[in-house]
Structure formats: C-alpha cells, structure tokens
Structure 1
Amino acid sequence: MTTKITRINPEQLHETPGYHHITLVETGRTAYLAGQCPLDRSGSLVGPGSIEAQVDQVVVNALAALTAAGAQPQHVVRSVIYVRSDDRDVLGAAWLRFTASALGPAFTSASTLLGVAQLGFTGQLVELDLTATLPD
C-alpha cells in the first residue's frame, strides 16, 4: 500500500513561491523530526555568521534524519523554517537556499518561514522543523 499525498493551492488563496497551502495525507505512519540545527556530528556550530553554511549543514542533518526514519524529501508534508533575522531579504535567501538544495522537494508541501529573535545555540541563524509521512 502506498501513502497518498495530495498538495492543494485553492484558487481563492494567494499564489505561493513553491509551497502548497494544504497537504493531505490519506494513510500511513508519520515521523516528526526534532528541529534540525546547523551542528556537525560533534555538536559544534557550523558556519558562524553565514546563513548559507548553516542552511547547508541543516540540509545535511535533515537528510540524515529523514533517511533514518525511512523517508525522503518528497515525503515531507509540513516544514517550518526559523531564521534569526527580521530582514525579509535574509529570510528570502534562506528560503531560496533550502528550496535549491537536495532537500528542495520537502518545501513543496505546507511550509512556514519565520523570522525569530533567538534560537537555541549561540550563533545559530537557522533551524528546520519537518514532519514526514512514511512510505509503506
């Protein structure tokens, strides 16, 4: 049995830059990933001061977590990106880097991009929260 994922953009709602307003999952199991941070395997922050380097590390970590759960980017049904900035250009740059990465298919589902005042680790600029449906 295959999990059916349907992504919808109602015509009454605004156009999106690639994500869908609604993601429906008909059946299956769900994986909730902890917020993926720009930390390497030893727990050290990667790319202090560089949103690009931090996004790249978060992508590596998120792909590893999805793989461990038995999922791939196209199985993501919800994402929340947290960026430590109130600058729309910085938020947009993070969005574009994520969507252009190997994790890009994850961001075609329901997605939220937030600018926040602080994240959990000193120097952390980005964090990613994913929910995925698991294929049978």
Structure 2
Amino acid sequence: MTIERSNPEGLHATPGYHHVTRVQADTLVYLAGQCPLRPTGELAEGGLEGQTAQVITNIRTALEAAGATPEHVVRTVIYVASPDREDLSAVWTQLNASPLGPAFTTASTLLGVAQLGFPGQLVEVDVTAAL
C-alpha cells in the first residue's frame, strides 16, 4: 500500500492538510460519521471541546478495530454545527493536537453546518483509511 500526499504548485498553502492524496491500496476502510456519543449512547458533556474529545476517542477505537492507524487515513470531512469560524478553528486545532493528528495531514474538509443528527450534537467526523 502506498499513500502519497502533495500540494501541487498553483494551489494555496494549507494549514497542515494536503490538497491531493493518491492511494494505491488493497483495502479501503470507511468509517461511519463518528459522533460525540459515549459507549452508553449518551452525548458527551463539555460542549464543543468535550464532544470533540469523544469523537477523537471514537475514531481511534473504530480505526483500531479495522486494523488501521491515523497514518492510514486518506480523507476526512469535519462537520461543526456552528456559523462561527472560531469554533471551526478550535475543533481543527484540537483534532490536530490529539493522538489522531496525523489523520488530518491528508485530504481534509472542514465545514460549518446548521445542525447534525442528534439533539445537541456539535461535531462529527467522516473518515476514510487505506490499508
């Protein structure tokens, strides 16, 4: 399996992610959008920071179950239920500073959205990995 990440000339500089991720792999792993739900099914407490921490835990658990690590991630889409760019930036910073950080050096998209699937849910992350 090979993963090549690049930022082609002619595209803007990025805050850590790559514009292009080229993958040659035997297996692709698609995670369902990981929500800030604890194993009990309850929404994580602690607002945006607490929910983001739970999403990080959930992604790490799901990747491990698939035999993958953050370095195997080839695409992420981050959804934040907020129109405030400071909230989006805070989630991006927390994700990158976590043990999951290498997952966000690949092709990534960060979106502010009107709402997510569960009442009170503030963040969700969609992840694709290659093995």
TM score, norm. by length of structure 2: 0.98
Q: Specify the code of the residue in structure 1 equivalent to 2:78.
A: I
1:59-98 alignment, distance < 5 Å: 59-98=56-95
**Counterpart Cα distance in 1 of 2:20 and 2:9:** 12
Q: Specify the code of the residue in structure 2 equivalent to 1:33.
A: L
2:29 maps to 1:31: yes
Identity %, equivalent residues? 61
Stretch of structure 1 that moved more, 26-35 or 63-72: 26-35
Q: Structure 1 residue 106: deviation in Å? A: 0.1
Q: Structure 1 residue 112: deviation in Å? A: 0.1
Q: Specify the code of the residue in structure 1 equivalent to 2:123.
A: V
Equivalent of residue 5 in structure 2, options 3, 7, 30: 7
SS in 2 for 1:62: helix
Q: Which residue of 2 aligns with 1:116?
A: 113
SS in 1 for 2:54: helix
**Counterpart Cα distance in 1 of 2:53 and 2:125:** 11
Runs of 4+ in 1 over 6 A off after TM superposition: none
How many equivalent pairs are there?
131
TM score, norm. by length of structure 1: 0.94
Equivalent of residue 48 in structure 2, options 43, 51, 70: 51
Q: Which residue of 2 aligns with 1:41?
A: 39
Q: Structure 1 residue 27: deviation in Å? A: 2.5
Q: Structure 1 residue 78: deviation in Å? A: 0.1
SS in 2 for 1:98: helix
**Counterpart Cα distance in 2 of 1:42 and 1:35:** 17
